């Protein structure tokens, strides 16, 4: 699982990509056929919602306890009946009028209280813990179409050729196709391309770019046309060099204008482009037509300058393994030798992704793509760093004493550190020993300057980092030597350390405390000697922006920490400006600010007023954040309650889980997702628990899972479910759990460990079922190699199918062409179930779909299936009690029959 899946989501809802909220709303209905299946007032314990109105006061943590009373009692006459007769009709009339007046007053007060109680909290804030206003039901169409996705502006900051200037940004698809503007000066504009269309100089045809990269001097633009996706991040394209002044384009490779290129990268000087063609690295010099081929043996076994599948997925999260030196005199690039890496076949039964037409007579045979995929314990690709001296035209490598052996080495980050020096971050195969290598490319020498054995410190691992930041020397500001900022472990938490000089063994600690920095640093202002970073200092489920000076002093918040916030930011090239994005818990907004604390400048870019209006029209679930203590660990929980939650009723409960190492699902970001739909439209409670192994609550809770994934994580899900089963408003006979990818694994592992005692149902999408089947770089980081931990792999696999048989029923879905979590995982589990004679499950597979499950409407089917399957499970004809089927109350049974559930309920057999 790549970092994208780990951090962003266990559920890849991508239907909304490329579509605005207004478009989504325009093309979706306010009702959904699925919601018509929901039985109103099905929860029959206590009074129905229509019969009782209640005012509730939140107590304790997470709103778990309420004081309740009937508002109907408030409007009873406020006087006692007296047996003693009143004297005279006038006195009786006075009392009657008085009673009417008081009763009317109390009635009005009750109505006011109801109205006031229903409007507490911003309608755009899902964290509100009171009942929402009456409105329309949330629909699955609206969620999947992205109607509730906030509008986000992005700024592509551009470094100005003028070293004294900052705040330039690339603006695309405006009045001109590509233009450079100044974020603070509305009069400034430099047009790079007026129109998207340009002319192919070879044949005169019109071309339209898919991607674009201005040169650092802003005089040219590198354009990519004929885009063809490869893996998650990589692609093939035809590249052109567009001249801003002449408005003409030339091919990147003059002799091969139609070549399908894998990567192209500008030199900082704008006088050259490094590019990869057929897995070989080339250099295009400018001006002129000269192309230099740097490597010549690239092909199916050797990659130069681009990552292979596993490095793209698990290390770089991108398509580049090429790095220009700051002075453009050298190129560092990765050589990947896949000779020993086994291949895994991915079959396509309906489509032909290659685009190749089969030979006559072979049309009905599936297309097969063979991918070099190192599973846990299998040979890894051998990687090393090579260099090219642009002036001398020489390729070379630098030998390092005491380096990792070829089979053991992982290269996870490359940072040019000043004139002719480069830092290489390496780890061993199991990612628990770090070696920071410093190479002087001018002298062609190198050495290990820092080594960390994290396994000896806390038994944990080193996550892949791409945020190490070079800090150049500047005596004027007190920086006598070059240095770099890196994430370090300090007293059990991730913090920032400043290493200076470059070969320093110990850092200057910039942060410390019982909280963690997140993907830090985000930016560095060399002018102001400040480091900007996001951290959990205020709360582990928030993201606040802070700054600290390079000497570790003056750590202050940039965002307003007096209110809850989940922020993100992008900084201009010199960090004088920042696009600050507030992502929740309320309606997201964005604005550009000047980082100088003395400045009051800000420019609002997005307020999402349309989203706020839409949210106000719909009944959304309320979110209740809390923590639970399991075995001494404080774990974050969010509970989503139906819009008109009634604590006297008994609600079914769905647990949504991801749980991958270092991930986080419980956060105060704005979300109207599938979980919101389940709680908001189906009137179920949805709970998410970040158990042990997840991120940002300290390494002690995180690294305990190492060597036996699924053991403690599923234990925590079960412990949380037991807590919720005891709550007065939950129905302990209707508990389910679901997840995607690592969450699919967690769903099955939890069902296996629970054995039907707490959870009756589960839904697993694209699950790992045996970590021996997953890729080496991800798996061995958390599990060691199978050769070193055979017992751990056996126990972490889904193996106790007898325990799975004790659940009422469960569902498994998988894409057949999944190149990430292979279909082999689900097939192997099915074989175990067959051998044991276990049949209490349903299966749905998706031809030609990868891990995101999108091919041929598959993504919609996934969520339709999840919804209808869950409704059938929770609204079944019988409840299980002491292993005996007990019929539902007649009132509920009649409602089921009216809705056609007599015919639908045979899926659940007890």
Is beta strand 685-690 parallel, antiparallel or unpaired with respect to 651-656?
A: parallel
- Residue pointed to by tokens 């801003």: 244
Q: What are the E-state strand segments in 362-501?
A: 367-372, 382-389, 394-396, 410-416, 421-427, 433-440, 445-453, 469-471, 483-490, 493-499
Q: Is 281 exposed, middle or buried (0-12, 13-18, 19+ CB in 10 A)?
A: buried
Q: Name the DSSP class of 663.
A: -
Distance between start and end Cα atoms, the chain: 37
* Helices and strands of the chain, counted as H and E runs: 19, 51
CA separation (Å) from 428 to 402, 706, 761, 790?
12, 16, 40, 19
Radius of gyration of the chain (CA): 31
Q: Is 294 exposed, middle or buried (0-12, 13-18, 19+ CB in 10 A)?
A: buried
Q: Which two three-digit tokens encode residue 487?
A: 């994430």
CA torsion 302-306-310-314 (nearest 10°) is 150
Q: Determine which one of 784, 814, 822, 851 is catalytic.
A: 851
Contact 72, 634 (CB under 8 A): no
Q: Determine which one of 482, 708, 775, 818 is catalytic.
A: 818
Count of beta carbons in the 10 Å neighbourhood of residue 37: 17
- Residue pointed to by tokens 């995101």: 852
Contacts of 108 (CB under 8 A, 6+ apart): none
> Of the candidates 225, 222, 227, 259, which has an alpha carbon nearest to the alpha carbon of residue 242?
222
CA torsion 796-799-803-805 (nearest 10°) is 130
Which residues partner with 498 through β-bridges? 485, 508
Give dist(CA 611, CA 383) in Å, integer: 48
Give dist(CA 300, CA 264) in Å, integer: 20
Q: Which two three-digit tokens encode residue 751?
A: 């069902």
Give dist(CA 512, CA 352) in Å, integer: 53
Is beta strand 168-172 parallel, antiparallel or unpaired with respect to 156-158?
A: antiparallel
Q: Which helix (H) or strand (E) holds 831?
A: helix 824-836
Q: Which two three-digit tokens encode residue 473?
A: 């020397």
Give dist(CA 622, CA 83) in Å, integer: 49
Sheet holding 567-571, edge to edge: 567-571, 577-582, 589-594, 602-606
142: three-class secondary structure by DSSP: helix
> Of the candidates 486, 423, 471, which has an alpha carbon nearest to the alpha carbon of residue 575?
471
Contact 805, 754 (CB under 8 A): no
Give dist(CA 433, CA 454) in Å, integer: 6
| 818 carries an active-site annotation | yes
Count of beta carbons in the 10 Å neighbourhood of residue 831: 11
Q: Is 666 exposed, middle or buried (0-12, 13-18, 19+ CB in 10 A)?
A: buried
Contact 377, 787 (CB under 8 A): yes
> Of the candidates 207, 173, 166, 169, which has an alpha carbon nearest to the alpha carbon of residue 193?
173
Is beta strand 878-881 parallel, antiparallel or unpaired with respect to 884-887?
A: antiparallel
| 851 carries an active-site annotation | yes
Q: Determine which one of 24, 575, 714, 741 is catalytic.
A: 741
- Which residues are known catalytic residues? 741, 818, 851
């Amino acid at each position: 699982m790549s970092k994208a899946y780990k951090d962003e989501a266990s559920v890849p809802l991508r239907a909304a990509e490329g579509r605005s909220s207004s478009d989504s709303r325009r093309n979706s209905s306010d009702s959904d056929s699925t919601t018509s299946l929901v039985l109103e007032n099905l929860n029959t314990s206590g009074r129905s919602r229509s019969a009782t109105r209640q005012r509730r006061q939140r107590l304790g943590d997470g709103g778990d306890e309420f004081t309740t009373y009937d508002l109907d009692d408030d409007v009873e006459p406020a006087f006692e009946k007296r047996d003693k007769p009143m004297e005279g009709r006038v006195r009786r009339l006075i009392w009657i009028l008085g009673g009417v007046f008081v009763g009317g007053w109390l009635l009005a007060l009750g109505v006011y209280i109801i109205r006031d109680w229903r409007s507490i909290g911003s309608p755009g804030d899902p964290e509100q813990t009171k009942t929402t206003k009456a409105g329309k039901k949330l629909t699955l169409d609206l969620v999947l179409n992205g109607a509730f996705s906030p509008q986000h502006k992005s700024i592509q900051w551009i470094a100005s050729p003028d070293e004294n200037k900052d705040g330039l940004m690339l603006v695309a698809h405006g009045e001109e196709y590509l233009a450079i503007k100044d974020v603070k000066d509305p009069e400034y504009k430099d047009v790079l391309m007026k129109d998207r269309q340009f002319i192919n100089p070879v044949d005169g045809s019109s071309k339209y770019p898919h991607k674009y990269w201005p040169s650092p001097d802003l005089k040219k633009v590198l354009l990519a046309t004929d885009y063809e996706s490869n893996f998650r991040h990589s692609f093939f394209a035809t590249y052109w060099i567009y001249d801003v002044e002449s408005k003409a384009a030339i091919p990147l490779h003059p002799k091969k204008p139609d070549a399908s290129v894998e990567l192209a990268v500008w030199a900082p000087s704008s006088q050259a482009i490094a590019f990869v063609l057929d897995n070989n690295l080339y250099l295009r010099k400018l001006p002129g037509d000269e192309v230099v081929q740097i490597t010549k043996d690239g092909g199916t076994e050797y990659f130069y300058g681009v990552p292979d599948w596993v490095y793209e997925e698990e290390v770089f999260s991108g398509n580049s393994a090429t790095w220009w030196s700051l002075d453009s005199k050298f190129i560092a690039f990765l050589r990947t030798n896949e000779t020993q890496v086994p291949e895994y076949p991915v079959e396509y039964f309906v489509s032909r992704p290659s685009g190749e037409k089969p030979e006559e007579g072979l049309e009905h045979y599936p297309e097969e793509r063979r991918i070099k995929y190192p599973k846990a314990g299998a040979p890894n690709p051998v990687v090393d760093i090579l260099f090219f001296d642009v002036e001398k035209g020489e390729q070379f490598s630098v030998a390092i004493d005491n380096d990792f052996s070829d089979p053991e080495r992982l290269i996870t980050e490359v940072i040019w550190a000043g004139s002719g020096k480069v830092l290489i971050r390496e780890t061993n195969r199991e990612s628990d020993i770090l070696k920071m290598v410093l190479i002087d490319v001018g002298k062609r020498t190198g050495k290990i300057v820092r080594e960390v054995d994290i396994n000896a410190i806390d038994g944990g691992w080193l996550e892949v980092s791409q945020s190490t930041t070079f800090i150049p020397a500047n005596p004027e500001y007190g920086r006598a030597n070059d240095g770099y900022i890196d994430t370090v472990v300090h007293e059990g938490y991730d913090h920032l350390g400043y290493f200076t000089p470059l070969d320093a063994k110990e850092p200057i600690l910039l942060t410390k405390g019982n909280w963690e920095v997140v993907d830090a640093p985000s930016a560095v202002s060399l002018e102001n000697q400040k480091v900007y970073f996001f951290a959990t200092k205020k709360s582990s489920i928030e993201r606040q922006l802070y700054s600290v000076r390079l000497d570790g002093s003056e750590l202050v918040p940039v965002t307003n920490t007096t209110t809850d916030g989940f922020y993100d930011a992008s900084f201009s090239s010199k960090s004088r400006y920042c696009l600050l994005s507030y992502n929740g818990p309320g309606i997201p907004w964005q604005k550009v600010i000047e980082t100088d604390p003395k400045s009051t400048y800000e420019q609002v870019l997005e307020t999402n007023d349309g989203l706020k209006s839409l949210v106000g029209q719909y009944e959304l679930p309320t979110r209740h954040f809390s923590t639970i203590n399991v075995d001494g660990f404080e774990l974050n929980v969010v509970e989503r309650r139906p819009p008109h939650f009634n604590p006297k009723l008994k609600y079914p409960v769905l647990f949504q889980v991801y749980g991958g190492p270092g991930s986080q699902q419980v956060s105060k970001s704005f979300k109207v997702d599938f979980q919101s739909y389940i709680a908001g439209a189906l009137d179920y409670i949805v709970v998410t628990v970040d158990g042990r192994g997840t991120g940002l609550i300290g390494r002690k809770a995180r690294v305990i899972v190492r060597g036996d994934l699924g053991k403690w994580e599923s234990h925590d899900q079960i412990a949380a479910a037991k807590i919720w089963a005891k709550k007065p408003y939950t129905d302990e006979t209707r508990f389910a759990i679901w997840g995607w990818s690592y969450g699919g694994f967690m769903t099955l592992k939890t069902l296996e460990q629970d054995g039907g005692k707490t959870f009756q149902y589960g839904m697993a999408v694209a699950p790992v079922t045996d970590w021996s089947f997953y890729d080496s770089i991800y798996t061995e980081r958390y599990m060691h190699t199978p050769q070193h931990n055979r017992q751990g792999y056996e126990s972490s696999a889904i193996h106790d199918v007898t325990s799975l048989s004790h659940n009422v029923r469960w569902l498994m879905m998988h894409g057949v062409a999944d190149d990430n979590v292979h279909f082999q995982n689900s097939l192997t589990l099915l074989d175990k179930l067959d051998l044991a004679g276990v049949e209490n499950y349903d299966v749905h597979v998706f031809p030609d779909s990868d891990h995101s499950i999108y091919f041929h409407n598959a993504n919609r089917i996934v969520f339709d299936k999840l919804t209808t399957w869950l409704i059938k499970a929770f609204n079944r004809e019988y409840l299980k009690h002491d292993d005996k089927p007990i019929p539902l109350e007649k009132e509920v049974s009649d409602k089921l029959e009216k809705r056609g559930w007599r015919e639908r309920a045979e899926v659940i057999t007890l």
